[in-house]
Amino acid sequence: MDTDTTNLFRRRDTFFGICEAVGQDFGFNPLWLRLAIVAPLFFFPVQTFIGYFALGAVVLASRLIFPAKSNAVAPALTVATDSAPREEKAEEFALAA
């Protein structure tokens, strides 16, 4: 799954990015949710739009209450500890060849 962190409201290929946000939060492909929303759209359009925007309100509230953790600290830690394991792996690969 793509872990792009661009603003979902500014992207041109989504309609507020609600399905994609739910897919990211729960770890599934948002295509399945999009298909599940399109099916009732033909029979119950008003209720489907109400449900879609209610789901959007839930996503917005969850993103405001529980913001994503910043990865600013993680790269600094991995750079400092990465040099020794790389040397060991390179040595193991040389022995394996």
Residue that has been written with the tokens 């399109």 in this structure? 38
Residue that has been written with the tokens 């020794």 in this structure? 84
Task: State the distance between the two ends of the chain, measured CA to CA, in whole angstroms.
Answer: 34
pLDDT digits (tens, 9 = 90+) for 7-22: 655 566 566 788 888 8
pTM, two decimal places: 0.55
pLDDT digits (tens, 9 = 90+) for 50-60: 999 999 898 88
Helix (H) or strand (E) holding 12: none
Q: Pick the closest to residue 63 from 22, 15, 10 (CA basis).
A: 22
